[in-house]
Amino acid sequence: MAFILLEAVTGGSEGRSLISRTSTDLLEALKNPANQTAWGEFDQRYRPLVLAVARRLGLNQADAEDAAQETLAAFVEAYSRGQYDRPRGRLRDFLRGVACHKVRDIQRRSAHREKRFPHRSDQTDFMATIPDGHIETVWDYERSNAVLRQCLQEVQHEVSPQTYQAFELTALRQWEAKRAAKHLGISLDVVYQSKHRVLQRIRQLLPEMDDAW
Amino acid sequence: MTDCPTHDQLAQYAEGQASGPEAATMARHLNDCIACRFIVDQMHRDNELATRLQAVVEPGDDPSLLTRLRQQLAEDYEVQEMLGRGADGIVFRARDVRLNRLVAIKCLTPDRHGRRLAEIFQEARNLAKINHPNVAAIYRLDDEGEIPIIVMEHVDGLPVDKAVVDQDVRSQVEVFRQVLRAVAELHRRGIVHRDLKPGNILVDRQGVVKVLDFGIAQPFPAEDTIELPVPPQGTPAYLSPEQSRGSPVKPSSDVFSLGVVLFEMLTGQRPFVGGTIAETIQAIRQADPPLPRELRPEIPGPLQAICLMALEKDPRRRYPSARHFLLDLERFISGEAVVANPALLKDILEHAIDRHVEDLSQWHMDRLISTREYDSFQDRYERLRQREEFWVLDSRRISFSQVLLHLGAWSCVVAAFLMLCFHWPHLPSWARPLLPWTVFGILQAMGTALWHRRTRRVGIVLVMAATLALPIAIAATLIWLEWPPRLGLADDLWAGFLTNEQLLIAATGGFLWSLMLWRVTRTSAFSLIWGLAAIVTATAVFTFLGLRKQWGEGHIDTVAGWYLAPGAILLALAMALDLRWRQVHFAGPLYVMSVIVLVLSMTAIAYFGPTTQWLGLVHLEGEPALHRHIKYSFMANGVVYLLAGLLGDRSSRSRWLRRIATVMFWLAPSHVLVPILTLENEWAVLPAGWTVPEIILPLAAIAFVFAAVPKQMKSFFFSGLFYVAVSVQRLTARHFEDKLAWPIALTVAGLMLVMVAWRRPRLFDQWVSNGERGKAEARAPAKRLGHGEPPEGAKWSPRPDQD
């Protein structure tokens, strides 16, 4: 099944807004194994999330990538066998469960490997046991970050490049408004206007996006 | 544009919540108004959404930053990805290649905020001095490279609120204790964090807390150096009310933020919630937080009190610093009583107490509880109502540090006293007063400084020690100056060292100084010190009356008679403080001292006094002193105590007087009965060798036993029983030895009494209680009326006559 994912990734998105699909829509589209766009979208959404969670839990890059790959593959398999039952839970809850399981699994393997080959520099920190509930908390944290990233992307498609740039420089890069105005060659009030508009739009988008994910 | 928008309008705009036209107007205003721009920029920086957004984007404004940083640090660090943004720059994760450990490197970009690099580095240097397991360490500062950097400990953890989700209260408290330890250390170093929030308090996977991001941490300035207005900084939800107003920030502001963090850790929600920044700030300034126990019932009451105490709106009512917060939390952890007494709970408590006190007085009138029980309830409620400041509790606690403190201060005073009570022949005469004055000066200066810095626990001990050192210093100086000239009225009390005149001046100095400090500190400890000083001064006055001579010649009763005067004055003052000025906690120590002085004096008078001449009744020549004097004079004392007890007991206004009455009632029976015991020889002897006192003693003892009934006086009851046994023993020794009928008669009489008590229990009780109830009702008719009418809704009770 992994090859579907790989193809999906390389097949890529069409640069289209992702908010158009709620997770229900996405699941509907995934019913067709040949729908590469849908699978690409799925991969784009959830692979970075699992990766980030695994990294934050102390797995090294390679282990984290394994965890992400195994999680997505497990989902594809479960879905194709009809084991994922939509009414029983949300997609994100299902994925979270799978991811937690995989991360723990890889940690255990890594611990075993570490016993045999100690003192590798880039080791997965297996000594620290992950307390119950910790993975879930990390998952929620990373997921909310992913949603925010998605909001930023969405807004970028909606507003003019100059407006977004003004917002980016002042709100995200913390430039002083004056410096941003000078840099973009616009007046100060336009900078403030842009910043306000984008922030306002993100505030509107956030609950929708959170629901869609 | 001349009219600036309000703070709330600016806050709404900064959050991206202004309507279209408003936003346009505001943008134009910001174009012109530098002050509002400054405030909005600050708000933007602290905007929670913006902060979250910053955390998820990569550093793109200066793509070369990472490359340049890697070049700059190539030898020492392997710079990895970006971790986030602090107030002053971007933070990267890096690996220290020599030590093979992860670090966080903050690249400073101070030009953005106009903060001078030197200032930031100075703060960092202050922080670098802190070596605390719960404070993220600073490893290195580099302001000479191309990019100024601060290398810090890398903390891989979760924000504290997320890390303790689903844990039990005890584990959460343990985690929070670590947070408090860290912040207490900062405060001890004079640093206020100013931006305490879960995002800055991380818990690593070993459960160790690290407090970090001192981006806006700064040493707390003296109050007069504050430049107003300071724009509000920090994340709105964790801002203290004073921070939200832009007022000067003190350690107590951190305490508030910590209170919010604790609340959130315990209940999973924030105490002050608003849809917008403006609403949140409004809630922080005005709204009462919900009670944590209502949100999560398993939170213990004391912990709730601690949390609410930290969330007090008025900084003066909060814990003054994290250390006090920590001490109270540790009291809670070790199961001791906490000192937290938040206003919110206090209001609830006051109402409950008022209701209960009304019930109590009703119960008291209905004789469901005794006067003593009523008093003790009132006592406890009073203590709850007027809980003293917590430094008092701290200073009374016999902890290791407190013992050390007292011991140290006491050693200084004793050292000063050594200068006075030895001649020190090899020391120049001017050197003798030097040490006492130095001790006084140091203790007083340190004590005053600490008192004003609100480290009162230490301050009060030092000032008290200084008060003891002052008369010593004055005396030493007078000895050196050989002043004043002697009047020669009486022999010196302390001949060879100190003249009476010098003693009087020194004692008066101490007396006045303690009076002044009593007024300034307004603590009950100083009423004790002042009382002691008064007694010493009285002694100095008595030296002129010939204290030494009288004592030397054995006229101790005369000397004791003099001391009745200061004792009575102290008692009068205590009563005035208690009854007239309602300063009960000042009156307590004076009451105790006056009673001790008076009772000791009266005992000395009774023991050493010329009893026989006073009464002129009998001559007791040839008897041992104890027997000779103990008789009538002790009995007279007993009667005085009895009267004093009765008077004190009648006082419905003062618990202290009632308490003294209890002491008197314990003293009185022995003072009356023991003399009867010794009165055997001189009184008329009855036929068959019986004497009057032999018969009076058991009767008097039985009278005391029964006298215990109306006022429930255990003192009378137990003393009476004891002397019944003593008198029976004496009677047996004199008259019934070897006569078996006597113990049998006693047993039979005892059994008969038991039977009467069993079968006719109400024989006397009804008579006594009827009389007493009539009196009680006559004493408090007004209160009785208040409860006379049954309340509305109380008419449901079934009536027997309706059956």
A203·B49 Cβ contact <8 A:
yes
Averaged pLDDT of chain B: 80
Q: What are phi and psi of B120, to 5 degrees?
A: -65, -40
- Asked if residues B104 and B83 have their Cβ atoms less than 8 Å apart, the reply is yes
- CB-closest option in A128, A169, A171 to B50: A171
Which pLDDT score, from 0 to 100, does residue B454 have?
A: 65
- CB-closest option in A121, A174, A189 to B28: A189
Same domain assignment for residues B242 and B328: yes
A174·B166 Cβ contact <8 A:
no
Q: Give which of A165, A172, A179, A197 to mutate to test B binding, by max B Cβ within 10 Å.
A: A172
Nearest residue on chain B to A140, judged by CA atoms?
Answer: B162
CB atoms within 10 A of CB B747: 10
Which pLDDT score, from 0 to 100, does residue B788 have?
A: 38
Of B360 and B452, more confident? B360
DSSP state of B498: B
Same domain assignment for residues B323 and B178: yes
- Which amino acid is it at B352? A
Closest CA to B8 of B255, B285, B259: B285
Which pLDDT score, from 0 to 100, does residue B768 have?
A: 57
CA angle A185, A186, A187 (to 5 degrees): 135
A193·B24 Cβ contact <8 A:
yes
Q: At residue B469, does pLDDT exceed 60? A: yes
**Parent domain of B110:** 53-154
How far is residue A36's CA from residue A14's CA, in Å, rounded to a whole number?
Answer: 11
**What residues in A contact B158, CB-CB < 8 Å?**
134, 137-138, 141
Which pLDDT score, from 0 to 100, does residue A16 have?
A: 40
- CB-closest option in A58, A188, A203 to B30: A188
How far is residue B197's CA from residue B175's CA, in Å, rounded to a whole number?
Answer: 14
B61·A192 Cβ contact <8 A:
no
- CB-closest option in B31, B61, B158 to A187: B31
Q: Give which of B28, B52, B53 to mutate to test A binding, by max A Cβ within 10 Å.
A: B53
Same domain assignment for residues B218 and B93: no
Tell me the nearest-neighbour CA distance from B135 into chain A, angstroms: 21
Per-residue pLDDT tens digits for B785-795 = 333 333 333 33
Q: How many residues does chain B have?
A: 803
| Mean pLDDT calculated for residue range A194-213 | 85
Same domain assignment for residues B570 and B585: yes
> At B796, is the secondary structure helix, strand, or coil?
coil
Same domain assignment for residues B130 and B251: no
A200·B45 Cβ contact <8 A:
no
Per-residue pLDDT tens digits for B532-543 = 999 999 999 999
**Percent of chain B scored above 70 by pLDDT?**
83
**Least confident interval from A9-23, B7-21, B39-53, B159-173:** A9-23
The secondary structure of chain A as a DSSP string is: -HHHHHHHHHH---S--GGG--HHHHHHHHTSTT-HHHHHHHHHHHHHHHHHHHHHTT--HHHHHHHHHHHHHHHHHHHHTT---GGGS-HHHHHHHHHHHHHHHHHHHHHHHHHHS---TT----SSPPPTTHHHHHHHHHHHHHHHHHHHHHHHHHS-HHHHHHHIIIIIS---HHHHHHHHT--HHHHHHHHHHHHHHHHHHHHHHHHH-
Tell me the nearest-neighbour CA distance from A143 into chain B, angstroms: 11
How far is residue B738's CA from residue B728's CA, in Å, rounded to a whole number?
Answer: 14
Q: At residue B21, does pLDDT exceed 50? A: yes
Confidence tier at B287 by pLDDT (50, 70, 90): confident
Residue B282 domain flag = yes
B16·A134 Cβ contact <8 A:
no
Which pLDDT score, from 0 to 100, does residue B695 have?
A: 87
Which pLDDT score, from 0 to 100, does residue B214 have?
A: 55
Which pLDDT score, from 0 to 100, does residue A120 have?
A: 41
The number of CA neighbours under 13 Å toward the Cβ of B146 is 10
Confidence tier at B780 by pLDDT (50, 70, 90): very low
CATH of the domain at B97: 3.30.200.20
Tell me the nearest-neighbour CA distance from A73 into chain B, angstroms: 26
A192·B15 Cβ contact <8 A:
no
Beta bridge partners of B140: B151
| Mean pLDDT calculated for residue range B228-240 | 54
| Mean pLDDT calculated for residue range B620-643 | 72
Same domain assignment for residues B204 and B89: no
Same domain assignment for residues B629 and B594: no
A199·B15 Cβ contact <8 A:
yes
Enumerate residues 6+ apart whose C-beta is below 8 A from B698. B723, B724, B727, B728, B731
Chain A residues near any Cβ of chain B (below 8 Å): 56, 58, 121, 125, 128-130, 132-134, 137-138, 141, 144-146, 148-149, 152, 168-177, 187-190, 192-193, 195-200, 202-203, 206
Tell me the nearest-neighbour CA distance from B27 into chain A, angstroms: 5
B16·A138 Cβ contact <8 A:
no
Which of B608, B641, B667 corresponds to the end of one domain? B608
**What residues in B contact A210, CB-CB < 8 Å?**
none
CB pairs under 8 A between A and B: 105
Residue B654 domain flag = yes
**What residues in A contact B37, CB-CB < 8 Å?**
177
Same domain assignment for residues B526 and B627: no
**What residues in A contact B206, CB-CB < 8 Å?**
128
Tokens matching residue B274: 């608003």
Residue B549 domain flag = yes
Residue B402 domain flag = no
Per-residue pLDDT tens digits for A95-124 = 888 888 888 888 777 766 655 544 443 434
**What residues in A contact B162, CB-CB < 8 Å?**
137, 141
B40·A192 Cβ contact <8 A:
yes
Q: For chain B, state the CA radius of gyration.
A: 38
- Which amino acid is it at B766? Q
Of B435 and B781, more confident? B435
How far is residue B280's CA from residue B605's CA, in Å, rounded to a whole number?
Answer: 73
Hey, what domains does chain A have and what are their CATH numbers? 2-147 (no CATH), 159-213 (1.10.10)
Confidence tier at B416 by pLDDT (50, 70, 90): very high
Which of B331, B360, B387 corresponds to the end of one domain? B387
State the residue for tokens 């966080």: B104
| Mean pLDDT calculated for residue range B166-174 | 89
Confidence tier at B220 by pLDDT (50, 70, 90): very low
Of A139 and B663, more confident? B663
How far is residue B800's CA from residue B222's CA, in Å, rounded to a whole number?
Answer: 76
| Mean pLDDT calculated for residue range A126-130 | 42
| Mean pLDDT calculated for residue range B193-212 | 84
Same domain assignment for residues B226 and B371: no
Which pLDDT score, from 0 to 100, does residue B800 have?
A: 37
State the residue for tokens 């004789």: B367
Confidence tier at B17 by pLDDT (50, 70, 90): confident
Which pLDDT score, from 0 to 100, does residue A116 have?
A: 54
- CB-closest option in A132, A145, A174 to B56: A145
Q: At residue A180, does pLDDT exceed 70? A: yes
Chain B residues near any Cβ of chain A (below 8 Å): 13, 15-18, 23-24, 26-28, 30-31, 37, 40-41, 44-45, 47, 49-50, 52-57, 59-61, 85, 100, 112, 156, 158, 162-163, 165-166, 205-206
Q: At residue B428, does pLDDT exceed 50? A: yes
**Least confident interval from A125-129, B84-88, B235-239:** A125-129
- Asked if residues B95 and B78 have their Cβ atoms less than 8 Å apart, the reply is yes
Which of B112, B128, B154 corresponds to the end of one domain? B154
Which pLDDT score, from 0 to 100, does residue A88 have?
A: 53
**What residues in A contact B275, CB-CB < 8 Å?**
none
**Percent of chain A scored above 90 by pLDDT?**
0
**What residues in B contact A174, CB-CB < 8 Å?**
45, 54, 85, 112
Residues A108-113: contacts with CB within 8 Å, 24+ apart? A110/A59, A110/A63
Tokens matching residue B62: 């200066």
Q: How far is CA A37 from the centre of its chain?
A: 17
Tell me the nearest-neighbour CA distance from B94 into chain A, angstroms: 13
- Which amino acid is it at A75? F
Nearest residue on chain B to A203, judged by CA atoms?
Answer: B16
Which pLDDT score, from 0 to 100, does residue B801 have?
A: 37
- Which amino acid is it at B580? R
Q: At residue A9, does pLDDT exceed 50? A: no
Q: At residue B680, does pLDDT exceed 70? A: no
Q: At residue B573, does pLDDT exceed 90? A: yes
The number of CA neighbours under 13 Å toward the Cβ of B432 is 24
**Least confident interval from B62-76, B295-309, B750-764:** B62-76
Give all strands (DSSP E) within B258-372, no chain letters: none
| Mean pLDDT calculated for residue range B461-470 | 93
- CB-closest option in A130, A152, A189 to B27: A189
**What residues in A contact B56, CB-CB < 8 Å?**
145-146, 148-149, 152
**Least confident interval from A126-130, A191-195, B207-211:** A126-130
How far is residue B91's CA from residue B112's CA, in Å, rounded to a whole number?
Answer: 15
Residue B619 domain flag = yes
Of B350 and A125, more confident? B350
Which pLDDT score, from 0 to 100, does residue B88 have?
A: 62
Beta bridge partners of B93: B104
Per-residue pLDDT tens digits for A140-160 = 878 888 888 888 888 888 888
What is the count of structural domains for chain B?
6
- Asked if residues A196 and B23 have their Cβ atoms less than 8 Å apart, the reply is yes
| Mean pLDDT calculated for residue range A87-94 | 68
**Least confident interval from A70-84, B149-163, B718-732, B784-798:** B784-798
Per-residue pLDDT tens digits for B89-133 = 677 888 888 888 888 888 876 444 445 567 677 777 877 888 889
CATH of the domain at B241: 1.10.510.10
How far is residue B93's CA from residue B103's CA, in Å, rounded to a whole number?
Answer: 6
Against a cut of 0.80, is the pTM above it?
Answer: no
Per-residue pLDDT tens digits for B235-278 = 578 888 888 777 778 899 999 999 999 999 999 889 988 776 77
B31·A192 Cβ contact <8 A:
yes
**What residues in B contact A169, CB-CB < 8 Å?**
61
Enumerate residues 6+ apart whose C-beta is below 8 A from A146. A45, A48, A49, A52, A213, B56
Same domain assignment for residues B220 and B286: yes
The secondary structure of B676-716 as a DSSP string is: HHH-TTTSPBPGGG-BHHHHHHHHHHHHHHHHHHHHT-HHH
A196·B23 Cβ contact <8 A:
yes
Nearest residue on chain B to A179, judged by CA atoms?
Answer: B112
- CB-closest option in A125, A148, A188 to B52: A148
Closest CA to A165 of A188, A183, A145, A149: A183
Of B472 and B52, more confident? B472
Tell me the nearest-neighbour CA distance from A115 into chain B, angstroms: 20
The helix or strand, by DSSP H or E, that contains position B659, with its residue range, turns out to be helix B655-678
| Torsion of Cα atoms, B211 then B214 then B216 then B219, to 10° | 100
Same domain assignment for residues B117 and B162: no
Same domain assignment for residues B588 and B552: yes
**Least confident interval from A165-174, B79-88, B466-475, B508-517:** B79-88
A133·B166 Cβ contact <8 A:
yes
| Mean pLDDT calculated for residue range B321-344 | 86
Residue B600 domain flag = yes
State the residue for tokens 């490049």: A161
